[in-house]
Structure 1
Amino acid sequence: MNLLSASRTAVTASFKRWTRSQNAVEVLAAARPGPWLALTAFVVVLLAMAAWAPGARLFFGIPFTTGLLCAAPMLASGLLFSVVHRKRRRIEPWGWLWLSFGVAALHFFVAALMALSALPGATVIASLFLFTTAFHGQLHRVTPRQPFLAVGTALALLAALQLRASNGHLALFGVIGPAALTAELYLGTFALKHDKARADAERLRAAVHAQLLEQQERDVGRLSQALGEILGYHHDLDNALMSAGSAADMLALLGAQRHALGRADFEEHVRQLNDSLTQIREMVREIRAKGRRYAGTEPEAVELPPLLEAVQVSMGLRFPDVDIQVEVEQDTPLRALMRGGAPILRRVVENLVLNACEGDGKQGARQVHIRARTEPLSGRLEVLISDDGPGFPAARLAGPAEELYTTKPQGTGLGLYTSECLLRASGGMLHRQNAPGGGALLRMVLPREFR
């Protein structure tokens, strides 16, 4: 009983990893009712030509009614799947099981055509079957560890073999069957390794980009601080200029009597002093105006739900073993105000989810939950990112995030620090703590756009 339970748990975990490696957006885009109706018409025309066209009838000789019956499970499953998922934005686990059945039904249809056709035509259809299985292996990331579609392909081959037109088809199935399964598993494994290599390259690029953003944010912070200090001095400068102007006026009245210079020469010096003070006053006014103009860019409104879903897809491809879930409050529009717009906010969220998935470098999270809502008291936006990883070291929760500090051997220490800096620059906050049940809990608070 324990062995059966462990096997069931292992299969379930493997199936979840397989579903997380899929691109649900691409699958839903291809599974619309329109393409399936077009495919139905194409299959009917193709079977009619293979059964009744003079040249094709001798080469293929596929019975129209039998071929259409073999296509019925594929077409019915695909059309019903497209209708059920027409307005959905994600595929549930039962939907992936349904999809697996639909792919197996498609493989059965092509294999059945190969079994029903005359031997010369069956050789041509065999190449189509080989291409179809290889394509689905690459598209759906079929590997020896997640061989669910490959099992469906093997069952489809066995079922279609019962329809063979002659014993000569046994040799064809004996060659094409193993070759198709091998191609399906090989291309799926290759695609998965390519995804991992691309994720590693993206991680490196993100680290470099984060370092550049951190440097830019630090430079902008210094500039803003300098400009703020300059703007803070304007009152003292005005007073100093007013005193100097008053002194110049007094010199104009009394200077000719107390100094040896002639009145004309003294008035010329006073005029030059007043001109210089006027010029200084204009320069200070210009500096003040420029400081107000360039102290910072205006925040941009960013839609949170599509941004969080994009982060879920990108990080899911990078970490297929981590279950990343997104929960968004639907009652009110969630539009955050962020300097730099959607690219900067997405980079912040991706940095935080990346830290959760990687953990401390030795242990990472297996589940990450992202929840977005409106704070009931302040009305600001709140994004909570929780995970079941090792959490933060207790010593690092007391103070702010530090640059170049990391517990990961290959880490840069910039992700959390940069995210906190970028949030503060937009008027937001980042709170870090460990959840009572274990794992880290990050709370982002963002300004919200009110329409």
Structure 2
Amino acid sequence: MSARNTVTAAFRRWTRSQDAAEVLAAAGVGPWLGLTVFVVGLLAVAAWAPGARLFFGIPFGTALLCAAPMLASGLLFSAVHRRRRRIEPWGWLWLALGVATVHFFVAALMALSARPGAAVLASLFLFTTAFHGRLHRVTPRQPFLALGTAVALLAAFQLRVSDEHLALFGVIGPAALAAQLYLGTFAVQHDRARADAERLRAAVHAQLLEQQERDVGRLSQALGEILGYHHDLDNALLSAGSAADMLTVMGVQRGALGRMEFEELVKKLHESLAQIKEMVTEIRAKGRRYAGAEPEPVELPPLLEAVQVSVGLRFPDVDIQVEVEAEKDAPLRALMRGGASTLRRVVENLVLNACEGDGEQSAAEVRIRARVEPLSGRLEVVIIDDGPGFQTARLTGPTEELYTTKQQGTGLGLYTSECLLRASGGMLHRQNAPGGGALLRMLIPREYR
């Protein structure tokens, strides 16, 4: 009873490792009808064609009789499963028997053929068994097809036309079984590696989402503080306006200035305050619009080329190159709050920093590489230069506002770029390239269409 349970469990594991959709597609009625016509025609050529008859010497009737179990099983299997989307356990057992009949047919051709042709058919048998081993995941722990292959070899061996075939069967038989088991085991290991990669990708994606949630929380807090600053600024502007009104009255009474001159100064003060208020209103509206707007799709390759041209005009001595690994029928579209203008500002800031270097040493070569990052599925833009690179102390902490090593710099370029990327759900990684220089790696959300 224990042995039976072990075999049953192994058979279930084997059926779960199969790709039912692939098997059903290959076992359609059309393919089997085409195979039937091909086999009959091939046997006729091998039996009666002048050159092939001497080379193979296969009797047509006997060979067709050996092919009958294979063709009958395949056609009946395809008819029964014609409209099915899954294969029942009995269907997998039927499939294993059907594959054994295929191996019996090829091995029977090898046994019935003359010695020159038998060597050619032996290579066909080796290829067929190896292919089925990989396709159906044959392993030492699930050797069901391998057992069928061994039985097929023993049955076909009884049909040998001479004892010279004994050596051929003695070599090809073990080699075919070994290839079947090896390729099946390799396929199973590949499936496991692919499943591990998918799990790793899912874990990385979950980690990225968690990081985005934290970033969104920090950005929400920052937006609240900014709105508070706007409120304080409104109060300050109101107070300034009241003070200007008071000056209008008090200035005339003191007579420190002529009435015309004083009124002109007060007029300018009012105009300046009104201009400041308009600017604050506009900044606030833009901030609210971009903070709450949905990300917009942006074609990445033309944007990178535009940055290459614009920055190249400012730094003609720097060799700026753009490399894009585009997928077939899948344009590289980034999702960015603020659209193309925001993304262009981000990339231009980073490329300008690369061209300028640290203020003392600049880069002579800048490479911009874009592709789809394989694990996260996001767009990856890497900017590499041959400049001085980052100071080691600045790589361990977050980007600081207003920090710069350049005398005329403001320190806002890198900081602003990282803030804009994070506001759109992206990320910016800083490091030094292995060969020297700085390496900036952007991960940007991608539009899937």
Which category describes the TM-score, using the shorter chain as reference length?
0.5 to 0.7
Residues 248 and 270 in structure 1, CA contact (< 8 A), matched pair in contact too:
no
- In structure 2, the CA distance between the partners of 1:86 and 1:246, relative to structure 1 (3 Å rule), is farther
Residues 50 and 56 in structure 1, CA contact (< 8 A), matched pair in contact too:
yes
CA deviation after TM superposition for structure 1 residue 281, in Å: 1.8
Aligned to 2:2: 6
Amino acid at match of 2:218: R
- In structure 2, the CA distance between the partners of 1:78 and 1:238, relative to structure 1 (3 Å rule), is farther
CA deviation after TM superposition for structure 1 residue 206, in Å: 4.8
- CA deviations 1:50-94 (Å, max 9, x no partner) are 111011112212222222222222222223333333443333322
Residues 248 and 266 in structure 2, CA contact (< 8 A), matched pair in contact too:
no
Structure 1: how far apart are the matches of 2:106 and 2:218? 67
2:291 corresponds to 1:291: yes
Residues 244 and 277 in structure 1, CA contact (< 8 A), matched pair in contact too:
no
2:21 corresponds to 1:25: yes
Aligned to 1:185: 181
Structure 2: how far apart are the matches of 1:176 and 1:110? 12
CA deviation after TM superposition for structure 1 residue 36, in Å: 2.1
- In structure 2, the CA distance between the partners of 1:289 and 1:254, relative to structure 1 (3 Å rule), is farther
2:88 corresponds to 1:75: no
Structure 2: how far apart are the matches of 1:58 and 1:23? 42
Aligned to 1:247: 242
Aligned to 1:164: 160
Residues 62 and 117 in structure 1, CA contact (< 8 A), matched pair in contact too:
yes
CA deviation after TM superposition for structure 1 residue 204, in Å: 4.5
2:150 corresponds to 1:154: yes
Aligned to 2:410: none
Residues 19 and 96 in structure 1, CA contact (< 8 A), matched pair in contact too:
yes
2:123 corresponds to 1:127: yes
Structure 1: how far apart are the matches of 2:100 and 2:228? 72
Structure 1: how far apart are the matches of 2:243 and 2:78? 86
Aligned to 1:274: 274
Matched positions, count? 298
For residue 41 of structure 1, the aligned residue among 37, 41, 44 is 37
Between stretches 11-20 and 115-124, larger displacement belongs to 115-124
Residues 143 and 189 in structure 1, CA contact (< 8 A), matched pair in contact too:
yes
CA deviation after TM superposition for structure 1 residue 28, in Å: 2.7
- CA deviations 1:151-191 (Å, max 9, x no partner) are 11111112222322233333322332222112212222233
Structure 2: how far apart are the matches of 1:176 and 1:161? 12
- In structure 2, the CA distance between the partners of 1:83 and 1:251, relative to structure 1 (3 Å rule), is farther
Aligned to 1:363: none
- CA deviations 1:181-209 (Å, max 9, x no partner) are 12212222233234334444554555445
Q: CA RMSD in A?
A: 3.4
Residues 252 and 267 in structure 1, CA contact (< 8 A), matched pair in contact too:
no
**1:34-433 residue pairs with structure 2 within 5 A?**
34-204=30-200, 206-227=202-223, 230=226, 236=231, 240=235, 243=238, 247=242, 250-251=245-246, 254=249, 256-257=251-252, 260-261=256-257, 262-294=262-294
Identity %: 66
- In structure 2, the CA distance between the partners of 1:263 and 1:186, relative to structure 1 (3 Å rule), is closer
Residues 110 and 125 in structure 1, CA contact (< 8 A), matched pair in contact too:
yes
- In structure 2, the CA distance between the partners of 1:32 and 1:227, relative to structure 1 (3 Å rule), is farther
TM-score, L = length of structure 2: 0.58
Residues 51 and 61 in structure 1, CA contact (< 8 A), matched pair in contact too:
yes
Structure 2: how far apart are the matches of 1:143 and 1:150? 8
- In structure 2, the CA distance between the partners of 1:247 and 1:281, relative to structure 1 (3 Å rule), is farther
Amino acid at match of 1:284: R
Q: Structure 1: which 5+ residue stretches go unaligned?
A: 299-338, 348-424, 426-451
- In structure 2, the CA distance between the partners of 1:81 and 1:258, relative to structure 1 (3 Å rule), is farther
- In structure 2, the CA distance between the partners of 1:153 and 1:265, relative to structure 1 (3 Å rule), is same
Amino acid at match of 1:286: K
- In structure 2, the CA distance between the partners of 1:157 and 1:281, relative to structure 1 (3 Å rule), is same
- CA deviations 1:230-255 (Å, max 9, x no partner) are 56887x57974884587378458645
Higher relative CO (CA 8 A, sep ≥ 6), structure 1 or 2?
1
TM-score, L = length of structure 1: 0.58
CA deviation after TM superposition for structure 1 residue 219, in Å: 2.1
Structure 2: how far apart are the matches of 1:92 and 1:238? 74
Structure 2: how far apart are the matches of 1:268 and 1:9? 96
CA deviation after TM superposition for structure 1 residue 49, in Å: 0.2
Structure 1: how far apart are the matches of 2:103 and 2:293? 64
Residues 15 and 89 in structure 2, CA contact (< 8 A), matched pair in contact too:
yes
- In structure 2, the CA distance between the partners of 1:213 and 1:250, relative to structure 1 (3 Å rule), is same
